[in-house]
Amino acid sequence: MKFGPVRVEEAEGAMLAHATTAGDRRFRKAHRLTADDIAFLKSAGVDEIVAAVLSDDDLDEDAAAARIAGAMRFRGIEAKPAATGRVNLHALEAGVFTVDRSLVDRLNAVDPAITLATVAEFKPVVQGDMVATVKIIPFAVERALADRAASILAGSEIFAVHSYRPMTVGVVQTVLPSLKDSVLAKTSRVMASRLARSGSTIGDELRTPHEIGPLSEAIDALAPASDMIFVFGASALCDFDDVIPAAIRRAGGEVMRAGMPVDPGNLLVLGKLGGKPVVGAPGCARSPKENGFDWVLDRLTTGIDVASGDIARMGVGGLLMEIPTRPQPRETPAPAAETKVHAVVLAAGCSSRMGGPNKLMAHFSGQPLIRQTAERALAAKVSGVTVVTGHQAARIREALQGLDVGVAHNPDFVSGLAGSLKAGIAVVPEDAAGALIMLGDMPGVSAADLDRLLAAFRKAAGQTIVRATHDGKRGNPVVLPRALFGAVAQLEGDTGARHLVEAGLMPVVDVEIGEAAAIDVDTRDALESAGGVLQD
């Protein structure tokens, strides 16, 4: 393949490097030029183009991607048709993804022009999820390279989605006088929720004293009707001969491993009784947050065997998100008094649903809404306030005159919320542990409401997302920890803080503040109902 400037009269069969407009026609990037295209370009006065000229030994990007994907062996996955040099592969059903890393590495070593990317091994997926993609980087590759890549793939399964198998699970919870019934009930609910993704259910649940004898009897009693058994101990594992592993052995089972290199999840016990898994769950499994227990559970409910060596290999990537409520966090947080939070007020929108007037200039109690919002932010216990402007920036600045607030302008405000959020986060001082993200059009949110959110954030030492709610439903404002500022920088378009909150990147604490969390003034009716008066 030759790439570069080409005389139009010599370009028949070449692929355009860039979208090209000539006369009243627009040719897309990678369009293969025909004789009619050449004639049209010449008549439009185009003498030269930048293109890729293929030789007889080349395969174009789509043909090469299809050739490589067609040589793959996989299960539970379908390959989509090639387009723009790419073949995407999607899960046919929910399950757990596995991959032969050595095959992927060998394929990617053939030539930089040929690439294969997959999701992480053992990642849970749902039907329709993309799990892998073949991408050809240039417009074409030598046929010999594509054939070499295909030959590497021949004969061996490169990846699979192992579908979930609905199972009946026996559960034992041991008890001590200090363990509340509410904790036991919550554990059952959380376990049932975890099992739901695989269609599995809890069969029988037994509760016994935290002693070897009663626990071993409970395990033995549950085994006949259960596909696997999970034990939640009232006390954490502190020795390899502690109650849970000792009870598994006394019941006639085998303990394959006690302890795992995943945190949270270190204290898991893996055993077997009559060929059925018996798992001593770590204390963190009482929480719905991801932990090492999930990694083992997902594999077991898809029929993937888990042995001691499998657990030993979980260490890379096994350091999961910190849980601020753990008895002894990995990192000692700063005292609450030192947890500074900077307020970011988003005020760049075009008020498009208002049909013309800028809602932020509407008067509430005789002053512009944006000024009222900024004043309430200043009255809260924040270290500073920044207002992000965009649409009618000069008017917003004028409405804020005399207030001790900073202003950050988002020149690309028409592209959506992400740009404004990034502009605000970019100016948060380095000593702030988080940012209070406020929408400029929520007149019901008071300084007292903001202080309640800030108090929850400081109680967690800045290690959790805090979200305002109304009757348990998500709302605004939110407090984002500094640990998420990097993720904010990756947002695009009309995506805001809600995306980060719901992505599961950090724990979320909800704070009920009533209707104020749900009332914004996007429309004339909403604004007037809230007591606002539109201005010209």
Domains for the chain: give ranges and CATH numbers: 2-53 (3.90.105.10), 59-163 (3.90.1170.30), 168-312 (3.40.980.10), 336-529 (3.90.550.10)
Number of Cα atoms under 13 Å in the Cβ half of residue 261: 10
Mean pLDDT by 10 residues, the chain (536 residues): 84 84 86 89 88 85 96 97 94 97 97 97 94 93 96 93 97 91 92 94 97 97 97 91 96 96 95 97 90 96 96 94 49 60 92 77 89 94 95 92 93 87 92 93 91 92 90 88 86 78 80 84 80 78
pLDDT of residue 381: 94
How far is the first Cα of the chain from the last one, in angstroms, to the nearest whole number? 61
Please give the C-alpha separations between residue 242 and each of 247, 255, 292, 426, in angstroms, as whole numbers.
8, 12, 20, 51
**In angstroms, rounded to a whole number, what is the distance separating the alpha carbons of residues 513 and 476?**
10
87: β partners:
134
User: What are the tokens at 332?
Assistant: 């000692």
Q: Which distant-in-sequence residues (6+ apart) come within 8 Å of 371 by Cβ?
A: 399, 400, 403
pLDDT of residue 322: 53
Please give the C-alpha separations between residue 334 and each of 155, 329, 340, 484, in angstroms, as whole numbers.
56, 12, 10, 18
**Region class of 36: left (phi > 0), else alpha (psi between -120 and 50), else beta:** alpha
Nearest to 205 by CA among 176, 230, 181: 230
Q: Which distant-in-sequence residues (6+ apart) come within 8 Å of 10 by Cβ?
A: none
**In angstroms, rounded to a whole number, what is the distance separating the alpha carbons of residues 37 and 25?**
10
Q: Which amino acid is at 402?
A: G
Angle at alpha carbon of residue 330, lines to 328 and 335, rounded to 5°: 75
Helix (H, G, I), strand (E, B) or coil at 362: coil
User: What are the tokens at 258?
Assistant: 């006690």
**In angstroms, rounded to a whole number, what is the distance separating the alpha carbons of residues 229 and 220?**
10
User: What are the tokens at 66?
Assistant: 């299809």
Q: Which amino acid is at 57?
A: D
User: What are the tokens at 94?
Assistant: 């929910």
Rounded to 5 degrees, φ, ψ at 186 are: -65, -40
The dihedral sign for the CA sequence 64, 66, 70, 74:
positive
On the question of a cis peptide bond just before residue 264, with omega within 30 degrees of 0, the verdict is yes
**In angstroms, rounded to a whole number, what is the distance separating the alpha carbons of residues 91 and 76?**
6
Scanning the structure block, which residue is given the tokens 């259910």? 201
Report whether 157 contacts 73 (CB < 8 A).
yes
pLDDT of residue 338: 67
Tell me 482's DSSP state: G
**In angstroms, rounded to a whole number, what is the distance separating the alpha carbons of residues 501 and 97?**
25
Tell me 154's DSSP state: T
pLDDT of residue 125: 94
pLDDT of residue 150: 96
